[in-house]
């Protein structure tokens, strides 16, 4: 019977590198994939920032207020964003919104239209009176109006994109499996005509 030398067993280094790599590999690969995922997200944000500038510039032209023109601009931008990530569904994952104001001050402040909160619930409802400053016959929490507006109006264009992460490692570190990126820009429509005159604000009641 061969004698076993415990000293030689403890001194044997065969397979140590493989064992150590097996211990650190999960953390190493998670870190690498996470770094690439963050880099991809930053790249997506840069592209979306550029895309929204293009949307704003094209929409501010004289024909930018035409719905068909806006739809064509939006479709082009959605194709551009989707080319970066084929999992994005342009119909549901990319949302482009426009709100317009009379001037930059209104766009910057984005204050809600004044109303009398008779039931103290923080919402304009139940027939409570409000000041319809933009005359669109509805209470607006940001004081703006839907759409691009007309000549010299100031519009805020917002692009929101939701998509699956590049690598399925988010759950391992407690992050959501999807990323939502939102960007906006403010731009005045070109002075291709005189700005439409705004009538005096009217007092209306919030719908029940």
Q: Where along the chain do its domains lie?
A: 15-205
Share of the chain above pLDDT 90, in %: 13
pLDDT at 15 > cutoff 60: no
Burial 120-143, CB ≥16 within 10 A → b, else e: eeeebbeebebebbbeeeebbeeb
Q: Residue 131 in contact with residue 201, Cβ under 8 Å?
A: yes
Structure confidence at residue 93 (pLDDT)? 93
Residues β-bridged to residue 202:
132
Model's pTM, two decimal places? 0.74
Count the neighbouring beta carbons within 10 Å of the beta carbon of residue 4. Answer: 8
* Chain centroid to CA 7: 63
Burial 170-179, CB ≥16 within 10 A → b, else e: beeeeeeeeb
3-state secondary structure (DSSP) of residue 100:
strand
Structure tokens at 166: 């590049």
Structure tokens at 64: 């930018």
Cα three-residue angle 80-86-88, rounded to 5 degrees:
80
Mean pLDDT of all residues belonging to the chain: 83
Arithmetic mean of pLDDT, 181-201: 86
Q: Residue 48 in contact with residue 181, Cβ under 8 Å?
A: yes
pLDDT at 7 > cutoff 80: no
Q: H-type helices in the chain, by residue range?
A: 6-11, 16-59, 67-82, 90-93, 104-109
3-state secondary structure (DSSP) of residue 199:
coil
Arithmetic mean of pLDDT, 27-40: 81
Structure confidence at residue 8 (pLDDT)? 56
- Which residues have CB under 8 Å from 37's CB, separation 6+? 165, 166, 167, 169, 170
């Amino acid at each position: 019977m061969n004698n076993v030398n415990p000293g030689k067993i403890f001194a044997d280094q065969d397979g140590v590198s493989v064992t150590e790599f097996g211990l650190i590999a999960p953390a190493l690969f998670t870190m690498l994939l996470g770094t690439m995922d963050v880099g991809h997200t930053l790249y997506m944000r840069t592209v979306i920032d550029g895309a929204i500038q293009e949307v704003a510039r094209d929409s501010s032209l004289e024909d930018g207020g035409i719905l068909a023109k806006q739809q064509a601009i939006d479709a082009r931008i959605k194709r551009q964003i989707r080319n970066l990530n084929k999992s994005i569904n342009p119909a549901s994952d990319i949302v482009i919104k426009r709100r317009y104001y009379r001037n930059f001050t209104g766009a910057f402040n984005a204050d809600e239209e004044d109303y009398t909160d008779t039931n103290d619930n923080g919402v304009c409802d139940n027939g409570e009176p409000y000041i319809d400053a933009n005359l669109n016959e509805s209470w607006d929490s940001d004081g703006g109006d839907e759409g691009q507006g007309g000549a010299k109006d100031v519009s805020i264009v917002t692009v929101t994109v939701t998509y699956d992460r590049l690598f399925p490692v988010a759950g391992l570190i407690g992050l959501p499996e999807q990323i939502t990126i939102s960007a906006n820009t403010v731009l005045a429509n070109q002075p291709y005509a005189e700005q439409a005159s705004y009538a005096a604000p009217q007092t209306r009641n919030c719908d029940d």
